[in-house]
Amino acid sequence: MGSEVIRKDELYEYFNSYWREILHLPIARATKEDVQNFLVELVRSKVIRQEAKKMGISLRDEEVEDYIQKNIGSKHLSPIALYFIKTELLVDKIAERLYKGSEITENQVVAYYYLNLRDFKMPAQVRLERFVADSLESANELYYRLSKGIEFWEDIKGVKKGEAMWYSMQALPDVLKAQLSPYEVGRVSKPIYTEAGYVVFRVVGRRNEGILPLEEAKPMVRAKLIREKRQEVLKEWLEKTLKNYRVEFYFSQL
Protein backbone atom coordinates (compact mmCIF):
# COMPACT_ATOMS: atom_id res chain seq x y z
CA MET A 1 0.00 0.00 0.00
CA GLY A 2 1.96 2.93 -1.32
CA SER A 3 5.53 2.33 -0.13
CA GLU A 4 4.37 0.31 2.88
CA VAL A 5 4.97 -3.42 3.00
CA ILE A 6 3.30 -5.84 5.41
CA ARG A 7 5.86 -8.53 6.15
CA LYS A 8 4.79 -12.14 6.76
CA ASP A 9 6.01 -12.14 10.37
CA GLU A 10 4.20 -8.86 11.02
CA LEU A 11 1.01 -10.25 9.50
CA TYR A 12 1.05 -13.34 11.72
CA GLU A 13 1.81 -11.27 14.81
CA TYR A 14 -1.26 -9.16 14.12
CA PHE A 15 -3.34 -12.19 13.16
CA ASN A 16 -2.48 -14.23 16.27
CA SER A 17 -3.31 -11.35 18.59
CA TYR A 18 -6.58 -10.58 16.78
CA TRP A 19 -7.61 -14.24 16.75
CA ARG A 20 -7.00 -14.67 20.50
CA GLU A 21 -8.05 -11.30 21.95
CA ILE A 22 -10.80 -10.10 19.62
CA LEU A 23 -12.34 -13.35 18.34
CA HIS A 24 -11.35 -15.41 21.42
CA LEU A 25 -10.60 -18.46 19.26
CA PRO A 26 -7.71 -20.94 19.52
CA ILE A 27 -4.99 -20.43 16.92
CA ALA A 28 -5.06 -24.15 16.11
CA ARG A 29 -8.45 -23.67 14.46
CA ALA A 30 -7.21 -20.96 12.07
CA THR A 31 -6.95 -21.84 8.37
CA LYS A 32 -4.94 -20.33 5.54
CA GLU A 33 -8.16 -18.77 4.25
CA ASP A 34 -8.66 -17.09 7.64
CA VAL A 35 -5.19 -15.56 7.34
CA GLN A 36 -5.89 -14.36 3.80
CA ASN A 37 -9.18 -12.75 4.83
CA PHE A 38 -7.46 -11.15 7.78
CA LEU A 39 -4.76 -9.67 5.54
CA VAL A 40 -7.45 -7.97 3.46
CA GLU A 41 -8.96 -6.54 6.65
CA LEU A 42 -5.54 -5.40 7.87
CA VAL A 43 -4.96 -3.49 4.63
CA ARG A 44 -8.45 -2.02 4.94
CA SER A 45 -7.65 -0.86 8.49
CA LYS A 46 -4.47 0.88 7.34
CA VAL A 47 -6.38 2.70 4.59
CA ILE A 48 -9.05 3.77 7.05
CA ARG A 49 -6.46 5.13 9.47
CA GLN A 50 -4.76 7.15 6.75
CA GLU A 51 -8.06 8.54 5.50
CA ALA A 52 -9.22 9.39 9.03
CA LYS A 53 -6.03 11.38 9.52
CA LYS A 54 -6.64 13.26 6.25
CA MET A 55 -10.19 14.04 7.42
CA GLY A 56 -8.95 15.35 10.76
CA ILE A 57 -10.70 12.56 12.66
CA SER A 58 -9.03 11.37 15.84
CA LEU A 59 -9.87 9.58 19.10
CA ARG A 60 -9.66 10.79 22.66
CA ASP A 61 -8.26 8.42 25.28
CA GLU A 62 -11.52 8.67 27.22
CA GLU A 63 -13.50 7.40 24.21
CA VAL A 64 -11.29 4.34 23.88
CA GLU A 65 -11.35 3.62 27.62
CA ASP A 66 -15.14 3.98 27.75
CA TYR A 67 -15.58 1.56 24.83
CA ILE A 68 -13.27 -1.01 26.40
CA GLN A 69 -15.03 -0.78 29.76
CA LYS A 70 -18.51 -1.20 28.24
CA ASN A 71 -17.75 -3.79 25.57
CA ILE A 72 -14.66 -5.73 26.60
CA GLY A 73 -14.14 -5.34 30.31
CA SER A 74 -10.47 -6.31 30.47
CA LYS A 75 -7.90 -3.54 30.32
CA HIS A 76 -5.07 -6.02 29.76
CA LEU A 77 -5.03 -5.73 25.99
CA SER A 78 -2.05 -5.94 23.67
CA PRO A 79 -1.11 -2.95 21.49
CA ILE A 80 -2.36 -4.92 18.49
CA ALA A 81 -5.79 -5.54 20.02
CA LEU A 82 -5.98 -1.82 20.85
CA TYR A 83 -5.06 -1.06 17.24
CA PHE A 84 -8.12 -2.88 15.93
CA ILE A 85 -10.43 -1.45 18.57
CA LYS A 86 -9.32 2.07 17.69
CA THR A 87 -9.74 1.32 13.98
CA GLU A 88 -13.37 0.31 14.47
CA LEU A 89 -14.02 3.45 16.51
CA LEU A 90 -12.53 5.49 13.65
CA VAL A 91 -14.81 3.65 11.22
CA ASP A 92 -17.83 4.73 13.28
CA LYS A 93 -16.65 8.34 13.25
CA ILE A 94 -16.03 8.31 9.51
CA ALA A 95 -19.48 6.84 8.89
CA GLU A 96 -21.03 9.51 11.09
CA ARG A 97 -19.15 12.22 9.18
CA LEU A 98 -20.15 10.82 5.78
CA TYR A 99 -23.82 10.23 6.53
CA LYS A 100 -25.72 13.46 6.06
CA GLY A 101 -29.11 12.03 5.23
CA SER A 102 -32.42 13.14 6.69
CA GLU A 103 -33.58 11.91 10.08
CA ILE A 104 -35.44 8.62 10.25
CA THR A 105 -39.19 9.35 10.32
CA GLU A 106 -41.70 7.96 12.82
CA ASN A 107 -43.53 6.17 9.98
CA GLN A 108 -40.31 4.41 8.93
CA VAL A 109 -39.74 3.23 12.49
CA VAL A 110 -43.28 1.94 12.96
CA ALA A 111 -43.31 0.23 9.55
CA TYR A 112 -40.01 -1.52 10.24
CA TYR A 113 -41.24 -2.70 13.64
CA TYR A 114 -44.45 -4.31 12.36
CA LEU A 115 -42.77 -5.80 9.28
CA ASN A 116 -40.09 -7.39 11.45
CA LEU A 117 -41.96 -8.40 14.61
CA ARG A 118 -40.08 -11.69 14.68
CA ASP A 119 -36.88 -9.72 15.36
CA PHE A 120 -38.41 -8.31 18.54
CA LYS A 121 -39.37 -11.61 20.13
CA MET A 122 -37.55 -11.51 23.42
CA PRO A 123 -36.71 -14.36 25.81
CA ALA A 124 -37.34 -13.99 29.52
CA GLN A 125 -34.89 -11.31 30.61
CA VAL A 126 -33.38 -9.83 33.73
CA ARG A 127 -31.96 -6.32 34.04
CA LEU A 128 -28.72 -6.27 35.99
CA GLU A 129 -26.63 -3.54 37.50
CA ARG A 130 -22.91 -4.29 37.38
CA PHE A 131 -20.47 -3.11 40.05
CA VAL A 132 -16.71 -3.65 39.82
CA ALA A 133 -14.40 -3.49 42.85
CA ASP A 134 -10.61 -3.52 42.72
CA SER A 135 -10.26 -5.66 45.86
CA LEU A 136 -12.11 -8.52 47.53
CA GLU A 137 -12.45 -6.49 50.72
CA SER A 138 -14.25 -3.66 48.89
CA ALA A 139 -16.38 -6.18 46.97
CA ASN A 140 -17.48 -7.90 50.18
CA GLU A 141 -18.42 -4.57 51.78
CA LEU A 142 -20.38 -3.67 48.65
CA TYR A 143 -22.17 -7.03 48.68
CA TYR A 144 -23.09 -6.62 52.35
CA ARG A 145 -24.60 -3.18 51.83
CA LEU A 146 -26.51 -4.02 48.67
CA SER A 147 -27.86 -7.29 50.08
CA LYS A 148 -29.14 -5.36 53.10
CA GLY A 149 -30.83 -2.79 50.87
CA ILE A 150 -28.34 -0.06 51.78
CA GLU A 151 -28.09 2.19 48.73
CA PHE A 152 -25.15 4.22 50.01
CA TRP A 153 -21.98 2.62 48.58
CA GLU A 154 -20.10 5.52 46.95
CA ASP A 155 -17.65 5.80 49.87
CA ILE A 156 -16.33 2.26 49.33
CA LYS A 157 -12.83 2.55 47.91
CA GLY A 158 -12.22 1.25 44.38
CA VAL A 159 -15.84 0.55 43.41
CA LYS A 160 -17.32 1.58 40.07
CA LYS A 161 -20.86 1.14 38.82
CA GLY A 162 -21.60 0.24 35.20
CA GLU A 163 -24.70 0.83 33.14
CA ALA A 164 -27.65 -1.50 33.85
CA MET A 165 -28.31 -3.93 30.99
CA TRP A 166 -30.87 -6.55 30.00
CA TYR A 167 -29.69 -10.19 29.82
CA SER A 168 -31.41 -13.36 28.69
CA MET A 169 -32.05 -15.48 31.79
CA GLN A 170 -31.35 -18.64 29.82
CA ALA A 171 -27.97 -17.36 28.60
CA LEU A 172 -26.67 -16.26 32.01
CA PRO A 173 -23.62 -18.14 33.34
CA ASP A 174 -24.50 -20.90 35.80
CA VAL A 175 -22.80 -19.05 38.65
CA LEU A 176 -25.22 -16.12 38.21
CA LYS A 177 -28.26 -18.34 37.70
CA ALA A 178 -27.53 -20.09 40.99
CA GLN A 179 -27.15 -16.84 42.92
CA LEU A 180 -29.80 -14.62 41.32
CA SER A 181 -32.67 -17.03 40.57
CA PRO A 182 -35.65 -16.48 40.86
CA TYR A 183 -34.49 -12.98 39.85
CA GLU A 184 -36.37 -10.91 42.39
CA VAL A 185 -35.65 -7.20 42.13
CA GLY A 186 -32.95 -6.33 44.64
CA ARG A 187 -31.30 -9.76 44.67
CA VAL A 188 -27.49 -9.49 44.71
CA SER A 189 -24.72 -11.87 43.62
CA LYS A 190 -21.66 -12.52 45.73
CA PRO A 191 -18.36 -11.11 44.37
CA ILE A 192 -17.13 -12.91 41.25
CA TYR A 193 -13.47 -12.62 40.29
CA THR A 194 -12.69 -11.53 36.71
CA GLU A 195 -9.74 -9.93 34.93
CA ALA A 196 -11.45 -6.56 35.38
CA GLY A 197 -11.77 -7.02 39.17
CA TYR A 198 -14.38 -8.39 41.55
CA VAL A 199 -17.84 -8.06 40.00
CA VAL A 200 -21.14 -7.86 41.87
CA PHE A 201 -24.50 -7.97 40.06
CA ARG A 202 -27.85 -6.70 41.33
CA VAL A 203 -31.27 -7.42 39.81
CA VAL A 204 -33.12 -4.19 39.01
CA GLY A 205 -35.80 -5.50 36.65
CA ARG A 206 -37.20 -8.54 34.85
CA ARG A 207 -39.63 -9.28 32.05
CA ASN A 208 -41.25 -12.42 30.70
CA GLU A 209 -40.84 -13.87 27.23
CA GLY A 210 -42.77 -11.99 24.52
CA ILE A 211 -42.66 -9.28 21.86
CA LEU A 212 -40.83 -6.14 22.90
CA PRO A 213 -43.41 -3.28 22.99
CA LEU A 214 -43.24 -0.73 20.18
CA GLU A 215 -42.33 2.19 22.44
CA GLU A 216 -39.39 0.27 23.90
CA ALA A 217 -38.34 -0.92 20.46
CA LYS A 218 -38.38 2.52 18.80
CA PRO A 219 -34.87 3.61 19.91
CA MET A 220 -33.48 0.26 18.74
CA VAL A 221 -35.23 0.50 15.37
CA ARG A 222 -34.16 4.10 14.81
CA ALA A 223 -30.56 3.26 15.69
CA LYS A 224 -30.65 0.21 13.40
CA LEU A 225 -32.02 2.18 10.44
CA ILE A 226 -29.44 4.92 10.90
CA ARG A 227 -26.70 2.32 11.23
CA GLU A 228 -27.81 0.61 8.01
CA LYS A 229 -27.83 3.91 6.11
CA ARG A 230 -24.41 4.81 7.48
CA GLN A 231 -23.05 1.41 6.47
CA GLU A 232 -24.35 1.88 2.92
CA VAL A 233 -22.63 5.25 2.66
CA LEU A 234 -19.46 3.89 4.29
CA LYS A 235 -19.31 0.92 1.90
CA GLU A 236 -19.58 3.18 -1.14
CA TRP A 237 -16.93 5.53 0.27
CA LEU A 238 -14.52 2.69 1.05
CA GLU A 239 -14.90 1.15 -2.41
CA LYS A 240 -14.08 4.51 -4.03
CA THR A 241 -11.25 5.24 -1.60
CA LEU A 242 -9.52 1.88 -2.11
CA LYS A 243 -9.26 2.65 -5.84
CA ASN A 244 -6.85 5.44 -4.93
CA TYR A 245 -4.44 2.91 -3.42
CA ARG A 246 -2.31 0.45 -5.34
CA VAL A 247 -2.51 -2.77 -3.35
CA GLU A 248 -0.83 -6.08 -4.15
CA PHE A 249 -1.47 -9.33 -2.29
CA TYR A 250 0.91 -12.30 -2.33
CA PHE A 251 -1.33 -14.99 -0.86
CA SER A 252 0.88 -17.80 -2.18
CA GLN A 253 3.65 -16.70 0.22
CA LEU A 254 1.53 -17.05 3.36
The domains located in the chain, with CATH, are 8-100+223-253 (no CATH), 124-208 (3.10.50.40)
What contacts 24+ positions apart, CB below 8 Å, involve 76-83? 76/195, 77/21, 78/17, 78/21, 80/13, 80/14, 80/17, 80/18, 80/21, 81/17, 81/18, 81/21, 81/22, 83/14, 83/45
User: Which range scores top for mean pLDDT: 35-44, 72-81, 125-134?
Assistant: 125-134
For residues 105-117, average pLDDT: 93
For residues 246-254, average pLDDT: 80
With a cut of 90, say whether residue 249 has pLDDT above it. no
pLDDT band at 73 (very low <50, low <70, confident <90, very high): low
What contacts 24+ positions apart, CB below 8 Å, involve 48-52? 48/87, 48/90, 48/91, 48/94, 48/238, 49/87, 49/90, 51/94, 51/241, 52/90, 52/93, 52/94
Stated pTM of the model = 0.55
Q: What is the pLDDT of residue 1?
A: 45
For residue range 82-100, what is the model confidence (pLDDT) as tens digits? Answer: 888 899 899 988 988 888 7
Which residues, in sequence order, are CB contacts of 90 under 8 Å at separation 6+? 48, 49, 52, 57, 59
Q: What is the mean pLDDT of the chain?
A: 88
